[in-house]
Structure 1
Amino acid sequence: MVASQALRTGRDMWFAFKDLCLSWSLVALTTCVSVLILVFLYLLQVYHQRKRTTRIRGPQSPSWLFGFAKTVNSAAIITELYEHWAREYGPVYKVPHVLGLSRVVLWDPKAISHFFARDTWLYNQTPFNKAAIRTTVGRGMLWADGENHKRQRKALNPAFSAAAIRSLMSVIHDIAHKAMTALDGEIESNQRTHCAVIDARQWMNHISLDSVGIAALSHDFGAVHGNDSDVIHILNAFSSSSSVSYNLVTLAQNFPSILKLPLPRIQFSQKLNLIVGKICQEMVSRMRKEKETGGDEQGDRSCLGWLLKAEESVESVGLTPQEVLDEAKILLLAGFETTAVTMTWVYIELARNPDIQTKLRDECLEFGPTPSYDDLTHKLLYLDAVVNEVLRLHAAAKEIERVATQEDVIPLSEPLRTAAGNFTENVCIPKGTVVVIPLAALNCSVSMWGPDAKTFKPSRWLEKDSGTHGAREALQGYRHVMTFGDGARMCLGRLFALTEIKAVLFALVRNFVFEMADGPGVPIVESLGTVPRPRVVGSAEAGSVPLRVRRYEV
């Protein structure tokens, strides 16, 4: 009986085990079928995506590891290459980049307008750029995309309106006067030669820092008068990087986690964030206290004053305290760096072109002592032409890149021949494509600006249609120049920058003559950096732009 019971128990266990195995088999079979279906659907999606994606042409890669990534950072070379590639491969083409991947370059005006209309929405900052921006200046407007970017920019718009700039004219003229007085002091200390040799880069750094400091933060750094500043030191150091560090940062465009390594360039970014953050925090705290005790009119007119108003807003446009601090850092750094570089190029071009400098001086002397905002904008035509031409030839940002967050069909103004030999009137790109707008190359394009596109020629802004205007008028932006970008991310501070550059130039060119210390033909190159800076080759001090300055005498 015991044996019979054991037999029945064993049989029951066997059937239970068999049922369990069958159940597992069904689960495994169901899982395998599900996985196969998902794989099939994925492959089908990839197939259809590849079939929709336009096969565009482009140059062969010189290196699987870096592609043209290093070449892109040589402004003189890449400006020529971008236009050469557009002629050879059409107005949209691909350029090999890091680790065998490619970037799509837009040269077609209609395609570029389409891109800018969707910037921050369909096209976002690349993961590398977002990580780099966050490390340097936090999660402010430069970092944000979509609704977040729209909200932050809306909070800052009033600070950069024409009315706001008009209210800051006394500040801007005061900076110009301080620069004029300081240059006079330099010349006075050299009574034997009646002239002074200055480093234009350093002087423009000082002028730009003082100007943006007062206008943005209601704080005078006193740089023009020789006060020392940690910001100047750290920004100058940040402009340069070692080749090893640069190579790793180039690779980080595909592997943003590299930015977490203790690289010299990354450590500079972090130090920059700390120093500028500390300064901005002090300014924010000071202005909050002043507002609590009645405030001051100048502080309310500054950009920081507008930021604090946005912080107090109960509307959806309001900013958090951390966003106020991050926006202040962006205003200081972006306003300082880009304007200083542009002003340096202004005096380089005037020193290399004495006839143009004389013509500009004559216009400024005939006009009167203190132009208003409207005078600088509408009446001093040759001054406007000189500044526009510098902005065209020497864009502070050489190119911008974004990643497509979804598949997009980009329209073209002319048919494009594909890699398959067919012609198409639009280009379909898949999600994840990195798209590049070559700002500096477009500004110097022969097809858009004529055969003298690479020549410094302010008179082009005073001439009638030279025959190439129609080719570039499809480009929007400022005066069809790409220097300030376009769309949702178009440079917010462009009116302030233009007014500052013109006001300082008006004051200085009336009173001084600028010459290249080493002769007008001395070669000038651009150093690698976040914003490439000009430097004279072979100058005694590395990275400097020595100018000889003397008083203008009638």
Structure 2
Amino acid sequence: MILGKVFTALLDALLFSIAFVVLKCTWTLYKNYTNPLWRLKGPPRGSFFWGNVREMWTGHNLTDCISQYGRAHTEAEFFGRPNLVISDTKAVAHVVFHANDYPKDEAMKYDLSELVGPGVLVVEGEEHKRQILIRRQNPAFGNAHVKELVPTFFDKALELRELLVQECASNPSGYHTNALDWMTKVTLDIIGLAGFGYNFHALDPNVEKTDLQRAFDAASDSAATPFRMIQAKIPFFRLFPTANTSVVREAQRCMDRIGARLLSDAKSMVALGDKASSGGRDMFSLLVRANTSSDLPDHQKLSDRDVMSQVPTFFVAGHETTSASLVWMLYALTLAPHIQKKLRQELQAVSTDTPSFDELNALPYLDAVLRETLRLHAPVSATERVATKEDILPLSEPIEDRRGKMLDGIRVQAGDIIIISMLGMNIDPAIWGADAHEFKPERWMAPKAGVTASIPGVWSNMMSFWGGARGCVGFRFSIAEAKALAFILFRAFEFELAVKHEELTSEQLIVQKPYLANDMAAGPQLPVIIRSAIP
């Protein structure tokens, strides 16, 4: 009798759960397919499950869709959920300057947290304000401290130059190599020393990878799997562990152990204060110093766990983005030998191998080449946000919807996903002119006043470092590092693409990287031929 009642209760609970799930799914699908965003133009929705997702993974280009469907259009995600894609500067500015109303969506936070933990790249609201306040008050992110780090940039750049000189001497017809591999190693060494006071020795062929490097590599590789992307978008699939799940967890534990050790060392250095004769000037130590300052109220201070979470954050922001920028600069200059030659002439006219921070910034063509690289090849080409309430996104100019009605704003509902195409703004002919798709550094030598003022970026009126309250606080570090490395490399070597440029494609995982289209399994790469150009 009792067993019968228990069985009946369990059966009722199961049926209720099934009914709830069915109703929930039905309601979700109804909302997806009746969402007002479908009034906007866009590509065909694709299949029921995939929507336009597979096209995006297999070479679908947001900028092509922007050209065809406009600066505000709709694409389909899983189960017909609409994504609003925008590159309209007024709409983007509205999202950027109302960051609390448009945080990162849950899928993006899940993906980032798997890689970097609960750092400033992931958290939102008051927690983000608290973490960003500490970082903005940190002198490590100001020009004064970046100037002090320039010698570190040059030390590693010169070490790389010597290695490449040796390789070129052994290969008189040209040294064939993967440029991405070298850029990854040198920027890893730089962020290790400048970021944590931690020497990776990545450029030393006789030194094996460190535990932190292996941990981050493992976590990064796991981010590239299609199933991981599905897990990010559809939480139900996170219930199913994969081989990569254990890899990610072990990588996170390793980063936690190393972060704890770095924190302990930094605290010891800070405690010594003026008694410390050297060290303690890396960004992480300065962050710890700022966080323990007596001038900072206790409620604004970060916990040890929060401080430790900045280790992988620094790693991503200070390593992945700069290496990607340099690789794309190499790519662009191999396609434009005359620009590469002009840049080399400017660099070789400098009388020293190690110019100062101010001398680097006084090189106009180097500055123009870097700006043009980040315009055409932004390391992060697009990002996602989610609306937390009903709102209207204003538009810089009206658009026509599927019914032929002109709209001067787009109504969004709570839960709507918004994809911001930074690259779409960076190559918009309406902003940059008819030659917007061309690599043309000269456009920066005498820029038209006010042409790009509508783009709300923190640097050079581009979105390459985002904008507003969530703008990249380390952009000065990244720019100075890229300039120092470019100065040494293009002064000493000539670079030629080792494959036809049509054979290359790109994918964005953490950042946008080049791949060989017929050998995606080999991972990101940029095959080049390097020859000495030392006078």
TM tier, smaller: 0.7 to 0.9
Structure 1 residues 550 and 63 mapped into 2: Cα distance closer, same or farther (>3 Å)? same
* Distance of 1:256 and 1:516 partners within structure 2: 42
* Distance of 1:249 and 1:236 partners within structure 2: 16
2:513 aligns with one of 526, 533, 550: 533
Please give the secondary structure, in 2, of the residue aligned with 1:198.
strand
1:363 has 2:341 as partner: no
1:185 aligns with one of 147, 162, 166: 166
Structure 1 residues 296 and 525 mapped into 2: Cα distance closer, same or farther (>3 Å)? farther
Structure 1 residues 494 and 528 mapped into 2: Cα distance closer, same or farther (>3 Å)? closer
Q: Which residues of 2 match residues 456-535 of structure 1 at below 5 A?
A: 456-465=439-448, 472-477=452-457, 478-518=459-499, 521=501, 523-527=503-507, 529-535=509-515
Conserved in 1, the CA contact under 8 Å of 2:270 and 2:289? no
Structure 1 residues 66 and 202 mapped into 2: Cα distance closer, same or farther (>3 Å)? same
Matched residue type, 1:174:
D
* Distance of 1:145 and 1:440 partners within structure 2: 24
Structure 1 equivalent of residue 435 of structure 2: 452
Matched residue type, 1:80:
D
Structure 2 equivalent of residue 13 of structure 1: none
1:215 has 2:194 as partner: yes
Structure 1 equivalent of residue 420 of structure 2: 437
* Distance of 1:271 and 1:456 partners within structure 2: 42
Please give the secondary structure, in 2, of the residue aligned with 1:333.
helix
Structure 1 residues 271 and 345 mapped into 2: Cα distance closer, same or farther (>3 Å)? farther
Structure 1 residues 196 and 357 mapped into 2: Cα distance closer, same or farther (>3 Å)? same
Structure 1 equivalent of residue 393 of structure 2: 410
* Distance of 1:398 and 1:109 partners within structure 2: 15
* Distance of 1:464 and 1:356 partners within structure 2: 18
* Distance of 1:435 and 1:173 partners within structure 2: 40
Conserved in 1, the CA contact under 8 Å of 2:514 and 2:526? yes
Report the CA distance between 1:181 and its aligned residue.
Answer: 1.9
Matched residue type, 1:495:
R
Report the CA distance between 1:254 and its aligned residue.
Answer: 3.8
Report the CA distance between 1:507 and its aligned residue.
Answer: 1.3
Report the CA distance between 1:257 and its aligned residue.
Answer: 4.3
Per-residue CA deviation, residues 400-422 of structure 1 (Å, 9 max, x unaligned), is 11111111122222223345543
Please give the secondary structure, in 1, of the residue aligned with 2:415.
coil
Structure 2 equivalent of residue 285 of structure 1: 264
Structure 2 equivalent of residue 103 of structure 1: 83
Report the CA distance between 1:546 and its aligned residue.
Answer: 2.6
1:132 aligns with one of 106, 111, 122: 111
* RMSD between aligned residues: 3.0
Report the CA distance between 1:298 and its aligned residue.
Answer: 5.7
Structure 2 equivalent of residue 171 of structure 1: 152
1:202 has 2:181 as partner: yes
Conserved in 1, the CA contact under 8 Å of 2:325 and 2:373? yes
Matched residue type, 2:465:
F
* Distance of 1:460 and 1:62 partners within structure 2: 40
Per-residue CA deviation, residues 241-261 of structure 1 (Å, 9 max, x unaligned), is 699x40x33433442343353
Per-residue CA deviation, residues 477-497 of structure 1 (Å, 9 max, x unaligned), is 122222111112112211111
**Aligned residues, how many?**
494
Please give the secondary structure, in 2, of the residue aligned with 1:301.
coil
Matched residue type, 1:171:
T
Report the CA distance between 1:327 and its aligned residue.
Answer: 1.0
Report the CA distance between 1:445 and its aligned residue.
Answer: 2.4
Report the CA distance between 1:131 and its aligned residue.
Answer: 2.0
* Distance of 2:37 and 2:68 partners within structure 1: 24
Per-residue CA deviation, residues 181-230 of structure 1 (Å, 9 max, x unaligned), is 22223234x1x627432321110011110111111101121111222224
Report the CA distance between 1:297 and its aligned residue.
Answer: 6.3
Conserved in 2, the CA contact under 8 Å of 1:53 and 1:430? no
Matched residue type, 1:304:
F
Structure 1 equivalent of residue 56 of structure 2: 72
Structure 1 equivalent of residue 231 of structure 2: 252
Structure 1 residues 343 and 296 mapped into 2: Cα distance closer, same or farther (>3 Å)? farther
* Distance of 2:437 and 2:473 partners within structure 1: 27
1:337 has 2:302 as partner: no
Structure 1 equivalent of residue 23 of structure 2: none
Matched residue type, 1:212:
I
Matched residue type, 1:259:
R
Q: Which residues of 2 match residues 223-234 of structure 1 at below 5 A?
A: 223-226=202-205, 227-229=207-209, 230-233=211-214
Matched residue type, 1:529:
L
Report the CA distance between 1:105 and its aligned residue.
Answer: 1.7
2:44 aligns with one of 37, 53, 60: 60
Matched residue type, 1:425:
D
Please give the secondary structure, in 1, of the residue aligned with 2:436.
coil
* Distance of 1:228 and 1:167 partners within structure 2: 29
1:84 aligns with one of 63, 68, 88: 68
Structure 1 residues 534 and 117 mapped into 2: Cα distance closer, same or farther (>3 Å)? same
Structure 1 residues 183 and 275 mapped into 2: Cα distance closer, same or farther (>3 Å)? farther
1:546 has 2:527 as partner: yes
Please give the secondary structure, in 1, of the residue aligned with 2:461.
coil
Conserved in 2, the CA contact under 8 Å of 1:311 and 1:318? yes
TM-score normalised over the length of structure 2: 0.84
Conserved in 2, the CA contact under 8 Å of 1:240 and 1:528? no
Please give the secondary structure, in 2, of the residue aligned with 1:413.
strand
Gaps of 5+ in 1: 1-42
Report the CA distance between 1:444 and its aligned residue.
Answer: 2.2
Report the CA distance between 1:289 and its aligned residue.
Answer: 2.8
Conserved in 1, the CA contact under 8 Å of 2:37 and 2:84? no
Matched residue type, 2:284:
L
Structure 1 residues 143 and 401 mapped into 2: Cα distance closer, same or farther (>3 Å)? same
